[in-house]
Amino acid sequence: MKKAFARVLFFMVAALLLSAPQAVQAKEFSGDLEIFSWWAGDEGPALQALIDIYKKQNPKVNVINATVTGGSGVNAKAVLKTRMLGGEPPDSFQVHAGQELIGTWVKADRMEDLTPLFKEQGWMDVFPEGLIKLIGTEDGIWSVPVNIHRSNVMWYTPANLKKWGVEAPKTWDEFFAIAPKLKAAGVTPLALAQNWTANHLWESVALASLGPDKWDALWNGELSFDSPEVVKAWELFGKVLQYTNADASSLSWQQATDMVIDGRAAFNIMGDWAAGYMATTKKLVPGEGFGFMASPGTNGEFMFLADSFGLPKGAPNRDNAIAWLKVLGSKEGSDAFNPLKGSISARTDSDLSKYNGYLQATAADFGKDRVVGSLAHGVAANETFMGGFASVMEMFLKTKNAPAAAKACAQLAKKAGI
Ligand code: GAL
């Protein structure tokens, strides 16, 4: 009797053990998944590629693709803040690796630690150590990176430059030498859009003026924001602004890119989502339909940023969100998303044959250039600094007062804890 019972028990346990992995694999999620980002319109196709993979794996989940338009998250971040503080977080939201994540949401204790997920998925070995540091603290890892974007890129149309008899400038002095000629021909030398793109331009100009060591020194508190070097960077920026379009503040970044494509402007400095826009939306071939180079004075330097998604505490559909994060961190997800987005994979094992010429060249640069963090896109400073910097920029665009801007930034840095 005892023996028979033991045998039955043995078979029951064995059956349970054998069926367990299948049961886990077959777990089907249902309900909603709300993903919050600013990737609307032209920035949508890459995100959609990730959603398509997710839907294939989780057909019963209703994906709510909640986007708030406005490049660099100008509007989305404000909406997110209201929701997070109001206790209504989305299931997962877009956030930049670096201080935007750590100095804002992690500091406020609003995020879940994803270390177990990183270990389970083997991500500790496929994401670069430096990047994991930027999304981590002593207490955990706080988001899943989906890409590496480059901020310091100058875009142009090769055929147009040929027509105007100019070459893409490698330094700001070279730019100032050709800009009057372009202006005289009725061409805007440098296309600019709404105010956040001025922040974007500023970081490229400041990097050229300060060099990478002093750029880094600004953010670790070793170089003060009102030092003569930084005043000089603001002065150079003021000079560059003289060659931009007067209607900048009413244009989206895509419209500034269009000016270059249409031949109304010669150059534009924008992150490489512009390459995504020109290749994916405008169907232009890199190197032919559009040209690119490091922004003047920054050759050999790679100002980077990374988009990532996190899991806020209190996410209404936590399991669905974790399944979403798994897609984001996967090789399949990454190599479907990035070629459309105009970014390179954050993973070190991506399949470069899926990427166009621009992205292959960028991946090579990322491997050999001096890498520094972007201010305009969340790496270098937290939201307190960024919010104040936008006001400093507004003031500067009106007054062009370099010492005043430098002084205001120094006060801001104190407030933001830099
Ligand atoms: C950046 C973001 C990019 C792109 C860009 C323009 O902040 O990291 O992925 O969306 O804004 O909207």
Contact (CB, 8 A) for 241 and 188: no
Q: State yes or no: pLDDT of 7 exceeds 70.
A: no
Distance 71 CA to ligand 1 centre (A): 6
Nearest atom of ligand 1 to the alpha carbon of 306: 8
Interacting residues of 196 by C-beta distance below 8 A, sequence separation 6+:
71, 72, 74, 376, 390
CA 71 to chain CA mean position, Å: 11
Pull the structure tokens for residue 185.
Answer: 């021909």
Q: State yes or no: pLDDT of 17 exceeds 90.
A: no
Domain ranges of the chain: 31-148+306-373, 150-304+375-416
DSSP 65-134: EEE--SGGGTTHHHHHHHHHHTT---SEEEEETTHHIIIIIITTT-B---HHHHHHTTHHHHS-HHHHHH
Nearest atom of ligand 1 to the alpha carbon of 377: 7
* CATH architecture classification, 150-304+375-416: 3-Layer(aba) Sandwich (3.40)
Distance 151 CA to ligand 1 centre (A): 10
Q: Is 381 in the pocket of ligand 1 (CB under 6 A)?
A: no
Q: Which helix (H) or strand (E) holds 370?
A: strand 370-373
Average pLDDT over residues 55-75: 97
pLDDT at 115: 98
Pull the structure tokens for residue 98.
Answer: 């670096």
Distinct helix (H) and strand (E) counts, the chain: 19, 14
pLDDT grade for 44, boundaries at 50, 70 and 90? very high
pLDDT at 27: 74
Are β-strands 31-37 and 291-294 bridged in parallel, bridged antiparallel, or unpaired?
A: unpaired
pLDDT grade for 22, boundaries at 50, 70 and 90? very low
Q: State yes or no: pLDDT of 398 exceeds 60.
A: yes
Q: Which CATH class is domain 31-148+306-373?
A: alpha beta
Average pLDDT over residues 322-344: 98
Q: State yes or no: pLDDT of 311 exceeds 90.
A: yes
Give the span between the Cα atoms of 84 and 69, in whole angstroms. Answer: 18
If DSSP codes are grouped into helix, strand and coil, which group holds residue 215? Answer: helix
The per-residue pLDDT for range 255-275, each reduced to its tens digit, is 999 999 999 999 999 999 999
pLDDT at 8: 58
pLDDT grade for 23, boundaries at 50, 70 and 90? very low
Best residue among 80, 95, 377, 379 to mutate for probing ligand 1's pocket (most ligand atoms within 8 Å of CB) is 377
The secondary structure of the chain in percent helix, strand, coil, rounded to multiples of 5, reads: 55, 15, 30
pLDDT grade for 21, boundaries at 50, 70 and 90? very low
The per-residue pLDDT for range 147-201, each reduced to its tens digit, is 999 999 999 999 999 999 999 999 999 999 999 999 999 999 999 999 999 999 9
Partners of 62 in the beta sheet?
Answer: 32
The per-residue pLDDT for range 181-192, each reduced to its tens digit, is 999 999 999 999
> One fold for both 31-148+306-373 and 150-304+375-416?
yes
The per-residue pLDDT for range 231-249, each reduced to its tens digit, is 999 999 999 999 999 999 9
